[in-house]
Amino acid sequence: MIEPVTQPTARVTDAEPSEADRYLSFERDTWAQLRASTPLTLGARELSQLQGINDQIDLDEVATIYLPLSRLLNLYVTTIQDLYKVSSTFLGNAAPKVPYIIGVAGSVAVGKSTFARILQALLAQWPDHPKVDLITTDGFLHPNAILKERGIMNRKGFPESYDTRELLRVLRDIKSGRAEVTAPVYSHVVYDIVDDERVVTRQPDIVILEGLNVLQTAEGFSEFVSDYFDFSIYIDADEADIEKWYIDRFLALRESVFQDPDSFFKFYALLSDEEAVATARGIWREINGRNLAENIAPTRDRASLILRKAADHRIDRIQLRRL
C-alpha cells in the first residue's frame, strides 16, 4: 500500500525530514500493479544466465518487481530524451547524445550484480533506448600492487581502495557524449585489474553503474560519482541476512571458482565445511560487515529508489523518492 501523505500543521525548521516525507512506500502487490501492460521479455533460460552464484530470483520476481521499475525508468529516459531534443532545437544545434546514467548500490552479497544484469536486459527491450551498457566499479579498484604498497590490501572495497579520479573521468566523458569511452576491467578469479582488457561504451542510451560505494561522497573531490546519476537504486536487507548470503556464496565459490588453478583464493578450496564457514564469517566481520556499516549503509537515503529484500531474497518493500 502507498503510505498516506500527511500535512503537519507545523514543522520545526531544523528537524530532519522523516522517511515518509521523502519516500513513497509500496508493498509488493501494489508495486506490481504499476507494471501496467509491460510485457515479460525474459524466459527462464535467459534469467538463469543472468543470475550470479547463489542468487535466487524467479520470473515471478521479475514480473512483480523489475517490470514496474523498467516501465518507470522508460518513462524517465524518454522524458529526458525529449528534453534534450527541445534544448537542441532552442539552441539551434545538434546536441551530442547524452546517456541516462543509473547507479546501483548496496552491500557485498546483496545481489547488486544480478539485479543490474536483469535490469539491463529489460531496459534494452524498449525501442526508445535499446542500447544499455553496464559498468561495475570493481574495474576502478586500484591494482593489488598499489593496495599492497599503501598497506590497504585488506580494505579492498573500502572507499580508499578505488581510483575515484579515474571513475569520475569516465563518467564525465560518458555524460559529455564522447563517441567512445573505455574503462578498466577487474577479474574476480585473479582478484586484480586485468592490464590488457578494457570495457568500451559507444554512446549508449543508458549506462548502469553498479558498485558498493557509488552513492558515497568523496573527500578531496569537488564532485561526487552520484553527481552524474539521473537515477539511483539502493538494494537493502537486514545485515544478518546479508551475512548469511555471503557465507552461502563463499561455500558455493569454494566448490566452483576457488577450484580454478588461477584463482587468487584457490587455497580456500581445501577448507572443510566448518573451516570455510568460520573463514567467511571472519571476513564478513572484519571487512565486508565493517564496510557496510561504516560506508555503504549510510548512503542508503541518498538513493532515488530503495529496494528492501527479505530473508528469502524476495523484495518485499519498495520506496520511491518523492519528486
- CA–CA gap between residue 64 and residue 145 (Å, rounded): 44
Residue 122 structural domain:
19-321
Give pLDDT tens digits along the chain (323 positions): 444 434 333 333 355 667 778 999 999 999 999 999 999 999 999 999 998 877 889 999 999 999 999 999 999 999 998 888 888 888 887 767 789 999 999 999 999 999 999 999 999 999 989 999 999 999 999 999 999 999 999 999 999 999 999 999 999 999 998 999 999 999 999 999 999 899 999 999 999 999 998 999 877 788 999 999 999 999 999 999 999 999 999 999 999 999 999 999 999 999 999 999 999 999 999 999 999 999 999 999 999 999 999 999 999 999 999 98
Do the domain assignments include residue 3? no
Do the domain assignments include residue 9? no
Residue of 304, 297, 232 lying closest to 23 (CA atoms): 304
* Confidence at residue 17, expressed as pLDDT on a 0 to 100 scale: 67
Number of domains making up the chain: 1
Do the domain assignments include residue 5? no
CATH number at residue 154: 3.40.50.300
Residue that is written with C-alpha cell 579520479 in the block: 165
CA-CA-CA-CA dihedral for 75, 81, 85, 91, to nearest 10: 120
pTM, two decimal places = 0.91
Helix, strand, coil shares of the chain, percent, nearest 5, are 45, 20, 35
- Whole-number CA gyration radius for the chain: 21
